[in-house]
């Protein structure tokens, strides 16, 4: 792997999660690891000969507690340090990692340096941990440059075990396998084996423009996942959630829903009230094709927009981001049907 001639300078942002746990030698209990002692606890990192600094969440959090205020803290830390570092490694719990990766991809406009998010299934302090390897590979990816000395990765990516995935395309797919993430609708950015093999054709290349950080997110959005037997009362109740502006409607297959007149009527009324409803499939692989079946087409006719092959994590954070920019419902619909930073394939 090629790195630039100067010593790579990497900032680690440690937010918490399983990766940061280590055994207390006296009590034997797992406790959060102090990353200011990174080199003592993971001595292999020294062999990279990088100049590494770190910032820590105080206290570190389980990623189930992540919310837009934490995404803002991460984005602002990157903005403040953008010119001083070659790359950024964010250590994060796995549970909501795909949401954070998606949110950051929207918040960090014109990003042209690597932001590599990683974590682990076993604490870094355990003998058989995957955390040490993930951390070291993430640092290497964050430092990697191409033949012309430009960062290999110029986007938010998730590094986990054998793969590097585009952050806003990835999903947590396993609660216990070391290969915990996958992007079902976009190829891996790199495969980690004996070497780190970059999938050059699929890497994001951005024209050089100043980084623009927009951290306002609007939380008046939600998932509405269909299940057979959902009653009109339930659907109508959910669609009337107070202050709701955007809904990711998790539909069946290629974007299908029941065609009962009451179902379409409830959805139409919500759209007419100004709620932006995005059709995203419950399937992990493939996307929504509203013109394939009558059921999907009925939604399109009442103003539901297609999410195409976007992940639900990216769809919900994109809605938060767009409403956070105070766009009108019409503008939000327009941007939901556009690719902002590699999150969706528009046919």
Residues forming the active site: 18
Both ends of the chain: CA-CA distance in Å?
Answer: 35
CA-CA distance, 119 to 216, in Å (whole number)? Answer: 26
Angle between helices 97-107 and 68-81 (to 10 degrees): 50
Which of 17, 87, 296, 342 touches ligand ASP (CB under 6 A)? Answer: 17
Nearer to ligand ASP, 17 or 296 (CB): 17
CA distance 202 to 342: 10
CB of 98 to ligand ASP, least distance (A): 11
d(CA 310, CA 63): 22
- Among positions 86, 95, 132, 188, the unique one binding ligand ASP when judged by CB under 6 A: 95
Looking at 37, 46, 62, 233, which residue binds ligand ASP (CB under 6 A)? Answer: 62
Where does the chain show beta strands of DSSP type E? 9-16, 21-23, 30-32, 51-61, 87-91, 108-109, 115-118, 156-160, 163-166, 171-172, 181-182, 190-192, 196-198, 212-213, 221-225, 246-251, 276-281, 305-306
Shortest spacing between CB 194 and ligand ASP, in angstroms: 26
Of 32, 68, 93, 114, the one binding ligand ASP by CB under 6 A: 93
Work out how close the CB of 74 gets to ligand ASP at its nearest, in angstroms, rounded to a whole number. 14
Asked whether position 118 contacts ligand ASP by CB under 6 A, the answer is no
Assess 119 for contact with ligand ASP (CB under 6 A). yes
Contact range with ligand ASP by CB under 6 A, out of 13-21, 136-144, 295-303, 318-326: 13-21
Q: Tell me the site size for ligand ASP, rule CB under 6 A.
A: 11
Strands 9-16 and 51-61, how do they pair? parallel
Nearer to ligand ASP, 177 or 282 (CB): 177
Considering beta carbons, is residue 90 or 336 the nearer one to ligand ASP? 90
Tokens of 30: 């797992």
Please give the residue ranges that form the binding site for ligand ASP (CB under 6 A): 16-18, 62-64, 93-95, 119, 121
């Amino acid at each position: 792997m090629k790195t630039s001639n100067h010593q790579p300078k990497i900032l680690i942002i440690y937010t918490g999660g399983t990766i940061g746990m280590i055994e207390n030698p006296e009590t034997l209990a797992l406790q959060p690891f102090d990353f200011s002692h990174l080199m003592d606890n993971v001595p292999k990192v020294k062999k990279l000969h990088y100049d590494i600094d770190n910032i820590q969440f105080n206290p570190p959090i389980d990623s189930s507690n992540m919310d837009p205020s934490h995404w803002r803290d991460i984005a602002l830390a990157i903005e403040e340090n953008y010119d001083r570092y070659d790359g950024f490694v964010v250590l994060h719990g796995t549970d909501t990692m795909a949401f954070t990766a998606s949110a950051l991809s929207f918040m960090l406009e014109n990003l042209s340096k690597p932001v590599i998010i990683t974590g682990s299934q076993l604490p870094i302090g355990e003998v058989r941990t995957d955390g040490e390897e993930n951390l070291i590979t993430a640092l290497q990816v964050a430092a990697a440059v191409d033949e012309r000395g430009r960062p290999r990765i110029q986007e938010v990516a998730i590094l986990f075990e054998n793969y590097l995935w585009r952050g806003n395309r990835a999903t947590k797919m396993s609660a216990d396998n070391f290969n915990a993430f996958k992007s079902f609708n976009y190829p891996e950015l790199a495969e980690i084996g004996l070497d780190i093999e970059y999938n050059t054709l699929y890497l994001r290349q951005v024209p050089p423009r100043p980084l623009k950080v927009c951290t306002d997110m609007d939380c008046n959005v939600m998932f509405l996942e269909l299940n057979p037997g959902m009653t009109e009362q339930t659907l109508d109740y959910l669609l009337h959630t107070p202050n709701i502006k955007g809904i990711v409607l998790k539909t069946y297959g290629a974007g299908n829903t029941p065609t009962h007149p009451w179902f379409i009527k409830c959805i139409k009324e919500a759209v007419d009230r100004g709620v932006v409803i995005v059709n995203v499939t419950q399937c992990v692989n493939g996307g929504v094709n509203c013109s394939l079946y009558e059921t999907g087409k009925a939604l399109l006719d009442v103003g539901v927009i297609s999410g195409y092959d976007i992940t639900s994590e990216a769809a919900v954070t994109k809605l938060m981001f767009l409403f956070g920019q105070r766009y009108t419902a019409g503008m939000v619909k327009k941007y939901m049907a556009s690719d902002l930073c590699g999150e969706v394939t528009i046919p």
